[in-house]
Amino acid sequence: MILQNCQVSNALKCLNFFNTFHFHLMVRSIDAFNSLMFKEKSVFEIYNRRS
């Protein structure tokens, strides 16, 4: 029974770590996407000003 509980807690720890890691990855990719869109937008605006 104790061994089972230990396995469950380890699984929860792994799951928690994976969730936080995945969350950080998601946030990073969203940040990257936003900065990319912002760069695209600024390039587009500069291009429009020139013409």
Residue 18, in any domain of the structure: no
Q: Mind listing the pLDDT tens digit for each residue in 4-36?
A: 777 888 888 888 888 888 888 888 888 888 888
Determine the pLDDT at residue 1.
Answer: 54
Both structure tokens of 9: 């807690």
Structural domain that includes position 29: 25-51
- 25 contacts: CB under 8 Å, gap ≥ 6: none
d(CA 20, CA 13): 11
Claim: this prediction has a pTM higher than 0.75? no
Residue 34, in any domain of the structure: yes
- The most distant pair of C-alpha atoms in the chain lies apart, rounded to whole Å, by 74
d(CA 8, CA 5): 5
Residue 40, in any domain of the structure: yes
> Total structural domains in the chain?
1
